[in-house]
Structure 1
Amino acid sequence: MPAQLSVNLNAIAMLRNRRDLPWPSVTSLGRIALQNGAHGLTVHPRPDQRHIRFSDLPDIRALIDDEFPQAEFNIEGYPTEEFLDLVEAHAPEQVTLVPDDPAQATSDHGWDFEGKGNVLRSVVQRLKKSGARVSLFCDPDASRASLEAAKATGADRVEFYTGPYGATFDDPARAAEALRQLEISGKLAAELGLGVNAGHDLTVDNLPGLARALPQLLEVSIGHGLTADALEYGMAETVRRFVKACQG
């Protein structure tokens, strides 16, 4: 079964936030994405609300509940108490925990599972009690020991950081090496019973290679590249293109 596509709405929200105006609408474009084959919507509500605003969350939750009950809401972020309260208030189907400093421009590394295992374990258990599936952001070259530590937290999945792979867009040899490492890590995760997600700098061009290297891939979360393509092709056609690319 091809990986499912979750459309990250943060880049759309960032464009909206350049003006004190309600457009582009994250819910309207989220609706178009779900109408055209996306399985879910992802947001990363940072403390400074420079992308998604906290006030967007109930609207996105209502969109899914009222119009697309089979779709999933994925909220990602660093597990501060404020973030955990937001998650519990909006009941996402999946929570993706990332080790970002609040000042970071974007996620750029996975968790130190062996060093942060105890902290993550308590957070994961809290989130699972709320009914959410929990995914942990993970480096693409994660070792078996690191993935065993991730599994020990009680998490359901890991999301491999594909930024290094995305950066090889003009170097086929480096792209092949990045895929080889992801393939190794993906097999280790699957052996340990962890579901596999992926995200960061994925495009229509590089998704098929990733899908072939990670046949166990369950979900990709894509924002920047998808939003960039939507400026050229429109949101509906862009989502259809990305869904097709997920098929490998």
Structure 2
Amino acid sequence: MTEPAVTKLSVNLNAIAQLRNRRDLPWPSVTGLGAQALIAGAHGLTVHPRPDERHIRRSDLPEIRALIDDEFPQAEFNIEGYPTEAFLQLVEANQPDQATLVPDDPAQATSDHGWDFRRNRELLKPVVARLKKQGIRVSLFADADGDRDALAAAAETGTDRVEFYTGPYGGCYDDPKAAAVELENLQRSAEAAEGLGLGINAGHDLTVANLPALKQHMPALLEVSIGHGLTADALQYGMTETVKRFLSACGHDI
């Protein structure tokens, strides 16, 4: 039986940045709330810069990098995005601890599917090698469909981890039977990934309510990246209390 992993919490700052961008004003502060999250115990910060800068701006990245370097050196910085040359140069300039590569079209509202690893294996191989040469851990966004052959193709890219897309599970918040089916898919996928030597991350529509069951079905889960649900809760409970609630849902003693 898999020994349960310590699941780290990375706070995605995109929703905070999107709220800021509604006005030509510096608040809410992306770095200020990021600092609050880290003080409260979050293990890292995640951003997903898009070409139109509708939430995180390119100018935010050096500020987040400096925040972590100067005040929270134990924390990790995770940058997500589609591996265009411009994105890769942005990653290399800001040296995150982890780069999470997603197959998004630039016009997508949010990530909503994983890579087709068989089709994109040769595209991803040199990108993964390039980032790892910089000392950056690489994670690839993956569908939780239990397809071991697809995950084997992911492993052949040289990636360190896969991040399972949990949107279908999160979308079952009012349907326990459907949620149980999605949890079984996630469990099978995680077991296959672990058997291939891949580290396991997860993200999308995760909440305080659905995290404990996810942890139970994915005991090797290393990291969750959470933005929308966490930001929504922060409006009600405040950032500090919200981070503590999510850490508790991840299995941490608070």
Q: TM-score, normalised by structure 1?
A: 0.99
Q: Secondary structure at the match of 2:11?
A: strand
Tell me the equivalent position of 1:247: 251
- The CA distance in 2 between the partners of 1:136 and 1:2, in whole Å, is 20
1:24 & 1:35 partners in 2: Cα distance?
17
Matched, 1:97 2:101: yes
Equivalent residue number for residue 55 of structure 1: 59
Between the aligned partners of 1:65 and 1:16, the Cα distance in structure 2 is 24
Once residues 116 and 185 of structure 2 are traced to their aligned partners in structure 1, the CA distance between those partners, rounded to angstroms, is 18
Q: 1:16 aligns with which of 16, 20, 32?
A: 20
Distance in 1 (alpha carbons) for counterparts of 2:146 and 2:65: 33
Give the count of matched residue pairs. Answer: 248
Question: What residue is the counterpart of 1:174 in the other structure?
Answer: 178
User: SS at 1:23's partner residue?
Assistant: coil
Residue in 2 that maps onto 1:80: 84
- Asked if 1:164 is matched to 2:168, the reply is yes
Give, in whole Å, the separation in 1 of the partners of 2:146 and 2:82: 20
Measured against aligned partners, the alpha-carbon deviations of 1:177-201 in whole angstroms (never above 9, x if no partner) come to 1000100000000000000000000
Aligned-partner Cα distance in 1 for 2:17–2:167: 21
The percent of aligned pairs where both chains have the same amino acid is: 71
In the TM superposition, residue 2 of structure 1 has moved relative to its aligned partner by: 2.9
Q: SS of the residue aligned with 2:151?
A: helix
| Secondary structure, aligned partner of 1:69 | coil
Instruction: Tell me how far apart the structure 2 counterparts of residues 18 and 39 of structure 1 sit (CA, whole Å).
Output: 28
Aligned residue identity for 2:140: L
**Judging changes above 3 Å, is the alpha-carbon distance between structure 1 residues 235 and 140 closer, same or farther for their aligned structure 2 residues?**
same
> Structure 1 segments of 4 or more deviating over 4 A?
none
| Runs (5+) with no aligned partner, structure 2 | none
Q: What is the alpha-carbon root mean square deviation over aligned residues?
A: 0.7
**SS of the counterpart of 2:219?**
coil
**Partners in 1 of 2:95 and 2:31 — Cα distance?**
17
Q: CA deviation at 1:142?
A: 4.1
The reply to whether residue 115 of structure 1 matches residue 116 of structure 2 is: no
Q: Which amino acid aligns with 1:33?
A: A
Alignment of 1:121-140 (within 5 A): 121-140=125-144
Q: CA offsets, 1:189-235, max 9 Å, x none?
A: 00000000000000000000000000000000000000000000000
Matched with 1:6 is: 10
TM-score (norm 2): 0.97
Partner SS for 1:6:
strand
State which of 214, 219, 222 in structure 2 corresponds to 1:210. 214
Partner of 1:148: 152
In structure 1, stretches of 5+ residues that fail to align are: none
